Structure 1
Amino acid sequence: MFWLLLVVLTLALAPGCAKKPATGGNEEQPVVTNVSDKDVSGVDQSGMSGSGVTDRTGQDAGLQAASAALNRIHFAFDQFSLSGEARRTLTANADYLRANPGIKVKIEGHCDERGSDEYNLALGERRAQATKDYLASLGISSSRLMTISYGEEKPLDPASNEAAWAKNRRAEFSPAR
């Protein structure tokens, strides 16, 4: 009787120990903002330079325009070399950055889900660095460019097929002042 009770109790409690499924990396990442001449309301206290105009969300209108103007590039599987199409896109991005010298850019390297987390973080960093190096070769100051790798953590398309993986192998641009 004791053994039967022990087995029933064990079976009743075992499902509570099940591993929770992974969420697929859709968690919100914290946003880090440097506050220098701006107060928390988003109003530029350094003067009316025109660059401090904000919309109702507090985002600088100039940064919104830069975000729309800077196009992402894509990479081949397990590669960080730039294709001809990527070079043409980066040339257009460099033209925009030359015309807007107050814009700094965070270059984000991304990968598809295949490979280990460590490998994909390293590959994403190589992709971001190759992108930065090419922009620097086009005359954009390296001090305006910073890199970060998200590896496979921020997919554009969460599906597990070749079309989705091709979208996820990319470098993106986040403008800043």
Structure 2
Amino acid sequence: MNIASLLKRTATLALILALVAGCSSPKGKGTYSGTGADGALPGSDVLNPNGVNGEGLAPRPDGNFNPDTDVDYETLAAYTVYFDFDSTTIKASERGKLTKVQEWLAANPGKQLFLAGHADKRGTLEYNRGLGERRAQSVRSYLIGLDVSGSILQTISYGMERPAANGDTEAAFAQNRRVQIGVIKTK
């Protein structure tokens, strides 16, 4: 191997590393493929405090909406929807849960729901955020098909950042591939 060949290989490697570094996003930042500038899929209200049609999400005295404190995930916890690996298809075994959610909404008019999509830790941060959003959108679309108004359904994706179960087993992964259905708290 001569010096010219070594320099050429070194330059090629440096170029590849520069491209990889330039294409990466800091953890928790960035826009996902097929999404808008806010990371939302077209027609989505992910992280949109103005909600659908500017109606807003459960107004707070300070004007802010916090999905960590302003959403009750306990009321509808039994209706968490679980997904197969790398899938956004709602399994037949999970559809009955969404019918129950629709019935709960009919009995509780005026309530808004927060659909939080999650993924297991296999895959990149960005891919799993996108997958979580697509899962939340799948649940949203299914509920709309059950005559639930889209204006009361807000979505967010946590990707793999908020696991329900820790570990590297298929059982743990299966618990993390989900959409949690929360009730947005009112004032």
Structures share fold, TM-score greater than 0.5: yes
Q: Does 1:110 align with 2:118?
A: yes
Q: Deviations over 1:91-118 (max 9, x none)?
A: 1111101111121011000000000011
- 139, 150, 170: which one aligns with 1:142: 150
Distance 1:141 1:122 in 2: 24
- Taking only the aligned residue pairs, the percentage that are identical comes to 39
Q: Does 1:99 align with 2:110?
A: no
Distance 2:102 2:122 in 1: 31
- 154, 167, 172: which one aligns with 1:164: 172
Q: Does 1:68 align with 2:75?
A: yes
* More relative contact order, 1 or 2 (CA 8 Å, 6+ apart): 2
* Matching of residues 1-177 of structure 1 within 5 Å: 34-36=59-61, 67-70=74-77, 71-176=79-184, 177=186
The 1:69–1:174 alpha-carbon spacing in structure 2 relative to 1, beyond 3 Å, is: closer
SS at match of 1:155: coil
Aligned residues: 123
What 5-or-longer segments of structure 2 have no aligned partner? 1-48, 50-57, 64-68
What 5-or-longer segments of structure 1 have no aligned partner? 1-31, 39-58
> Is contact 2:76–2:181 with CA below 8 Å preserved after alignment?
no
* Residue identity in the other structure for 2:82: H
SS at match of 2:74: helix
Structure-2-length-normalised TM-score: 0.60
What is the RMSD of the two structures over their aligned residues, measured on CA atoms? 2.4
SS at match of 1:160: coil
SS at match of 2:154: strand
* Residue identity in the other structure for 2:157: S
Distance 1:37 1:110 in 2: 28
> Is contact 2:75–2:182 with CA below 8 Å preserved after alignment?
no
Regions of 4+ moved over 4 Å:
none
Distance 1:69 1:132 in 2: 15
Q: Give the CA deviation at 1:37.
A: 10
Q: Deviations over 1:40-71 (max 9, x none)?
A: xxxxxxxxxxxxxxxxxxx99xx86x832351
Distance 2:74 2:159 in 1: 21
Distance 1:125 1:134 in 2: 14
